[in-house]
Amino acid sequence: MEATKLHYKKPSLQGTITVPGDKSVSHRSVMFGAIAEGTTTVEGFLLGEDCLSTIDCFRKLGVQIDVDGTNVTITSDGIDAWKEPIEVLYTGNSGTTTRLMLGLLAGTKLHTVMTGDASIAKRPMRRVADPLRLMGAHITGRENGQYTPVAIQGKELTAIDYTMPVASAQVKSAILLAGLRAEGTTIVRESEVSRDHTERMLRQFGAQIDVEDGVVSFAGGQKLTATHVKVPGDISSAAFFLVAGAITEGSHVILQNVGMNPTRDGIISVLAEMGADIAFQVDDELAEPTAEVTIKSSELKGITIEGELIPRLIDEIPIIALLATQAQGTTVIKDAEELKVKETDRITAVVTELKKLGANIEATEDGMIIHGPTALHGAALQSYGDHRIGMMAAIAALITEGEVTVDDVDCIAVSYPTFFEHVEALCKK
Ligand SMILES: O=C(O)C1=C[C@@H](OP(=O)(O)O)[C@@H](O)[C@H](O)C1
Ligand SMILES: C=C(OP(=O)(O)O)C(=O)O
């Protein structure tokens, strides 16, 4: 693949963009629509490759899914009507699809096999397979179910009371989705709260689920009722332009329809604490809150990012690292070892690539330390096939003196297919 040249000559960003649909909510809308009997309609669906993988898997299970722009209709006769697929379910680059489907398929009557791309083949699945096995699931895969391809023979399941060893919404959601089919009440205990889209959407589809002090309780055997889902814009996508607006001189950017779920809004807290000029008003009326967010460039200062904040911004750490290179003083990111098991090892990838641009950054066991501000220069960067590293590289190119090249930017379509259109729209004004 030929590297893409990015030479923006330090623009100031001006204008308004509407952030595309949230990836986590889009995946779940298809899954819940496939479980519920009847027709579920989804508005604002993300047409990213990961969500298209989810649609493809459910079509192979015999669920009817129609896509008309960002409107998606899912028509299902319920989970018991899913068909045993003759083909392997291909989950592409999507950890969310693979892990949540493990939970869903564990309690069906079906035999299924799932596999994904080279990155998925390296991502740990035992974190999901182990609790599911405690519920009675039959899952096999490479290294005792740790790696894809995985095979699932559906079984009758029993509820468990599970204390989460890592803060992971994928693990929590897989257990809850299996819990839907299990005998008894499933309990998941979190010491740090991870994104709660599954809990919110279960309620939206008419289920009863209790959440108190990090303990989620969910009685099995509940029926879901088909409904209409309005997908908020993805704050993880918005984050790239929030940071771009904050670090490019003279910028004034408005982002519409930004999802502001309190379990996802860590980037807003970080920008505010660093001294960014940011303003918004949250609309709380819907299942998922949203806001129009305005950001202007300003002086920034280094901070420490750790603890319960980490799950609220886990996917934003690559772009936060770039932000920190432009802040006065030291930024320390701790408690983020989960970054090592994302699409690539994001601690190594971020530190290696930002160093090539001249950043003063070092890796630690559970994060990174960045000293700023540093003027960045051009370099030949790698995305490692990881959409978030690719977008971090492209936003960095907005402030570098000299050209940045990136080996593979096509991977950005995993979560943000219109990313470069939005870069251009904001640079043009
Ligand atoms: O549940 C979800 O939709 C997601 C949960 C997070 O992963 P973990 O559960 O592994 O933390 C996040 O990084 C991923 O992009 C999406
Ligand atoms: C980690 C991510 O997604 P997934 O786990 O679904 O591949 C991401 O989008 O940054």
Distance of CA 342 from the midpoint of ligand 2 (Å): 6
Distance between CA atoms of residues 199 and 217, nearest Å: 10
Q: Whose CA is nearest to atom 11 of ligand 1?
A: 168
**Pair type for strands 138-141 and 215-219:** unpaired
Other beta carbons within 10 angstroms of residue 81's beta carbon come to: 12
Active site residue 315: yes
Categorize the per-residue pLDDT at 429 as very low, low, confident or very high, splitting at 50, 70 and 90. low
Q: Which three-class secondary structure string do you get for 33-95?
A: HHHCEEEEEEECCCCCHHHHHHHHHHHHCCCEEEEECCEEEEEEECHHHCCCCCCCEECCCCH
| 40-51 pLDDT per residue, tens | 999 999 999 999
pLDDT at 286 over 90: no
Q: Is 267 helix (H, G, I), strand (E, B) or coil?
A: helix
Tokens at 106, concatenated: 């564990």
The structural domains of the chain, ordered by start, are 4-20+232-428 (3.65.10.10), 23-230 (3.65.10.10)
Residue of 22, 315, 386, 408 marked catalytic: 315
Distance of CA 262 from the midpoint of ligand 2 (Å): 19
Q: Whose CA is nearest to atom 5 of ligand 2?
A: 95
pLDDT at 1 over 80: no
**Pair type for strands 111-115 and 89-90:** parallel
Is the pTM here over 0.95, yes or no? Answer: yes
**By the 8 A CB rule, do 4 and 243 touch?**
no
Distance between CA atoms of residues 293 and 289, nearest Å: 13
Q: What is the ipTM of this complex?
A: 0.99
| 26-65 pLDDT per residue, tens | 999 999 999 999 999 999 999 999 999 999 999 999 999 9
Regarding the beta carbon of 387 and ligand 1, being less than 6 Å apart is answered no
Give the number of the atom of ligand 2 that is nearest the alpha carbon of residue 93. 7
